[in-house]
């Protein structure tokens, strides 16, 4: 444990910071696109188009983080599911996975708190609602099943592309495209 911490503490902190930045981006774009007083929201009345723009913004955020110097150093998992999958495949050691996941939780929480503080009543507005994802009319079970399928597809693509000799440099673009989708 202490060896992992001594050797990789910068990567753990970077991973938390990257997820924090991702959360700040989500809160910011969610507020810009969904708050009724936002000029962007008023200019784009179609909720499907705003949702498409939100997906593109978050996909580009993911790509930016993944290809940034920090993302390259930490591996830019940005997601506990990715870290856990790499741990299960023995590509990440146990203590590295534990510290990555711990820092991801802390980073996400810090980014959300910072964004909520800076955007205050805007992000708290019911139309933005802290950019939470709510289950649709099909309910919680369907949402859970959809998340499992989405994660399976995401990890399948990431693992396939990242382990392909001529495609591995496109892993970040594929990840960003899937986030956008």
pLDDT band at 66 (very low <50, low <70, confident <90, very high): very high
The confidence score (pLDDT) of residue 80 equals: 84
* HSE-up (13 A, CA, CB side) for residue 143: 8
Rounded to whole angstroms, the Cα distance separating 103 from 72 reads 17
Q: What is the DSSP string of 82-118?
A: HHHHHHHTTSS-HHHHHHHHHHHHHHHHHHHHHHHHH
* pTM attached to this predicted model: 0.90
Closest CA to 69 of 14, 141, 20, 12: 14
Mean pLDDT of 84-97: 91
Rounded to whole angstroms, the Cα distance separating 162 from 177 reads 15
pLDDT band at 166 (very low <50, low <70, confident <90, very high): very high
The confidence score (pLDDT) of residue 180 equals: 93
For residue 67, pLDDT beyond 90: yes
The confidence score (pLDDT) of residue 118 equals: 96
Note the pLDDT tens digit of each residue in 91-149.
889 999 999 999 999 999 999 999 999 999 999 999 999 999 888 889 999 999 999 99
Domain boundaries, the chain: 2-135
The confidence score (pLDDT) of residue 8 equals: 81
Note the pLDDT tens digit of each residue in 15-65.
999 999 999 999 999 999 999 999 999 999 999 999 999 999 999 999 999
């Amino acid at each position: 444990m202490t060896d992992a911490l001594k050797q990789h503490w910068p990567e753990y902190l970077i991973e938390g910071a990257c997820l924090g930045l991702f959360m700040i981006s989500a809160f910011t774009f969610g507020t810009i696109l969904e708050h009724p007083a936002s000029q962007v929201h008023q200019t784009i009345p179609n909720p499907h188009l705003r949702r498409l723009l939100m997906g593109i913004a978050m996909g580009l955020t993911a790509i930016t983080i993944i290809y940034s110097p920090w993302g390259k150093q930490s591996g830019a998992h940005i997601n506990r599911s990715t870290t856990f999958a790499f741990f299960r495949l023995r590509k990440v050691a146990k203590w590295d996975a534990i510290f990555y996941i711990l820092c991801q939780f802390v980073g996400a929480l810090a980014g959300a708190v910072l964004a909520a503080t800076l955007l205050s009543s805007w992000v708290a507005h019911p139309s933005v609602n802290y950019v939470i994802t709510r289950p649709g009319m099909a309910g919680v079970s369907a949402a859970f099943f959809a998340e499992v399928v989405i994660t399976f597809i995401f990890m399948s693509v990431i693992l396939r592309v990242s382990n392909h000799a001529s495609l591995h440099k496109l892993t970040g673009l594929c990840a960003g495209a899937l986030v956008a989708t």
